[in-house]
Chains A and B, each alone.
Chain A
């Protein structure tokens, strides 16, 4: 357990680095403040008191909010990572921010009075509900890191999608989503800063009081219990504090991504080793990160407003920082994520299982083509009506099926190549990378054809995957490093997309629609293109099954059998990139099918590469087609985001399967 930690010397003294960054942030703030002071003594009459008011009620509170908010998120992330022994735990991956946001959206629409009086309470309830759900779901697996992050991302995505769907359905779309989702920092009183500061002080006090049990919690359960820690009570106490911190930040300024994840990791990378050091370093680094980001956002702001919301911009700054530091670290102190997915039952008759999945997929397709909701309620379309509606339903179903199949295959390949159960196009940022490629094409060429769009999004996806590969090849495919890099890359790409959407041009509008993920605009030509691409690409999958069987066993084994490991990996990663790009172009980056389908296939008992591939592809088809059908019919004629239903459908089933195959239940 207690492996020595090797750190390549950081190129600079960490204290110097953070000191320098803090100094930069301070300079930016000083620039803001002096701007108002100078204006205050300007000869224009009548404005001086106002500038004072702006300085006091807007500029200074904004600095304070950035500092305390960043510190609160850093502390929250640190506590969660510690107590769950999970380097990927943070308010976003555990669904705290998303849950808080959903609760606030629901309250805003259905109980606005509640939002007036108990904004923070509503946010806290939402955050706690999300975390509670995740913990309940993964309890039987002993809160195993992989299971927790899987459940967390699922809950977070579902909540985000549900918020977006609610806002869309109420027609308020662009503006409020942009401000709120982005985490905007503008202030006009000290109240938010004070509110967060009080929570922060309470949080720090709690963390100090709990520091002994907290450090013991870093050990495994058995040792902790033998040392007499009231394990669950302490755990829940710490989690409660962390959620409270994150929820109050979300309530006051919206969702600020990435700080909770990056600050503890950066603290560790900067050499904070002991619990006490980290308790000091993580909040400080979080504060500096947010302060600097917000200063830069204000610096870049033109006369007509800020280009990027601070909450998204944190990723623009923290993402590259994390990516740059990651390879300089040889070993995380955290216990490793489960390298090998927990042993699952292997079906004795995989052929029959694949057949069953094929049948389910076929039923899903038949359902989506014939049953619809129309002005007269639910209808089974037959005859002439069927032939008219088939013109619309056919392409949709074809695109959904092809995209589902391609994403599932891509996820399966990535999970096997990286021997990482959480690897998938969505989590490694490949989908959003494809989006950045697509953006470039949309903006650089007028009226680009589908060919160019595919090329652009494929280029984006492959570049992201290539970067992942290069980063992790430097010291083997460590699962945490790869996932951290992937999440950082995904956040970075999303921030670029957010900034582009903020331009409000017709292209941005198109991009927003792409992000929400809809097959609504699929034409027969799209359908043919998608189907043919899927068919061509997927015929290669069985050919790669030997590689996929061997690679997860490790490089040494693979080499000893005579596999050209490096070349295999590069080929497979390219393959997964193209699959993802082709699918994401039509269904957006957030479908989650690529993560879920391979797990469902494996947990159902399909263990070998060939049968798992077939099962995953069929499950991907079924899931995507049914999700698309629900998105189309549930609130007819208004259409909802596809990803919402994909997550809603597959999430509970996946978690049930995870629980059923708990690690303590022994070998099958």
Chain B
């Protein structure tokens, strides 16, 4: 560490308790960004899927636990919560491109002080997330010089879902409802406008949740609402709060639901609720495996 040098600029800044806006004009942005930082998880997934390892990303502890794939190499620096990224850590990671989304618009002014910032939003009101995610993947591919990889990811995801759809063809057709538990009495449903809803459609499965859910963090439903959907197969998406499993086992209402009585409930592995193509494919794989297992149980 060098000696503490206080320049005139710092002295002025300290006097006012803040720093002037004037920074030396940044060098022309590099043609091909090499050091990527990801605020948004959908962008993080996509970048990793393109074979690019970012220098920094948010909430990696939680990402490894709840998104699982693609895996994040250890050398990626964790820069804290998505809502409040640590700008000091971000600056020290020296990115030359920051990827964010519409949910973090407030941060844009500060992110742009670190490096060039690109907002790529998979989830926008009125737009179907799957085609948008494809578009985002291709855009990132062009930007990072990985166009071939991007096209491959789009094609592989589409083909993967199509293959899974074929695999499900012989299986008895029921509407499927994908839900996430808040506690033992509340869930939220993934409607047709969510990424999972759209993957179900692409798998050729009817989504039991007919209404558009405007899938949000809130507006939980009581589990008695599940009684309205007696024919559905239920896919439970983690995270599942610890107390839920036991509470449901004791719940007369839950046990009385036709779906539960007829063992049409499956809990799948963790997957990103607001993900991009990798999450879509992972969800498709998990759901079709679960449905095939359910079918096997019924016949076996």
Contact = CB atoms under 8 A, between A and B. Distances in A.
A365 interface: yes
Nearest to A253: B185
B230 A50 contact: yes
Contacts of B7: 387
Contacts of A374: 88-89, 92
A567 interface: no
Nearest to A389: B88
B86 A637 contact: yes
Nearest to A115: B243
Contact of B216 (A168, A503, A518, A632): A503
B59 to A, nearest CB: 6
Interface in B195-245: 211, 213-224, 227, 230, 239, 241-243
A506 B102 contact: yes
B255 to A, nearest CB: 9
A394 B13 contact: yes
A305 B10 contact: no
B65 to A, nearest CB: 8
A365 B17 contact: yes
A589 B103 CA distance: 22
B130 interface: no
A581 B158 CA distance: 51
B35 interface: no
B77 interface: yes
A179 B17 CA distance: 41
A390 B84 contact: no
Nearest to B248: A188
A502 B19 contact: no
A637 B19 contact: no
Interface stretch (A8-16, A53-61, A285-293, A413-421): A53-61
Given A189-B252, A383-B1, A506-B103, A521 B84 contact: yes
Interface stretch (A219-227, A239-247, A522-530, A597-605): A522-530
A331 B23 CA distance: 62
A165 B79 CA distance: 17
A179 B220 contact: yes
A393 B110 CA distance: 12
B21 A304 contact: no
Contact of A504 (B105, B214, B221): B214
Interface in A610-654: 632, 636-639
Contacts of A53: 227, 252-253, 256
B217 to A, nearest CB: 4
Given A372-B88, A506-B105, A57 B256 contact: yes
A111 to B, nearest CB: 10
Contact of B224 (A58, A390, A509, A637): A58
A520 B214 contact: no
A215 interface: no
A632 B81 CA distance: 12
Interface in B1-17: 1-5, 7, 10, 13-14, 16-17
Given A57-B253, A382-B4, A387-B7, A528 B218 contact: no
**Which 7 A/B pairs are nearest by Cβ-Cβ distance?**
A504-B216, A383-B2, A186-B222, A174-B217, A171-B62, A305-B219, A394-B19
Interface of B: 1-5, 7, 10, 13-14, 16-21, 23, 59, 61-62, 65-66, 77-81, 83-89, 91-92, 102-103, 105-107, 109-110, 113, 125, 180, 182-186, 188-189, 191, 211, 213-224, 227, 230, 239, 241-243, 246, 250-254, 256-258
Given A176-B183, A394-B17, 18 more contacts: A116-B246, A175-B180, A175-B188, A184-B185, A184-B186, A186-B186, A189-B250, A304-B211, A304-B214, A304-B219, A393-B88, A506-B102, A506-B105, A510-B106, A518-B84, A528-B18, A638-B81, A639-B84
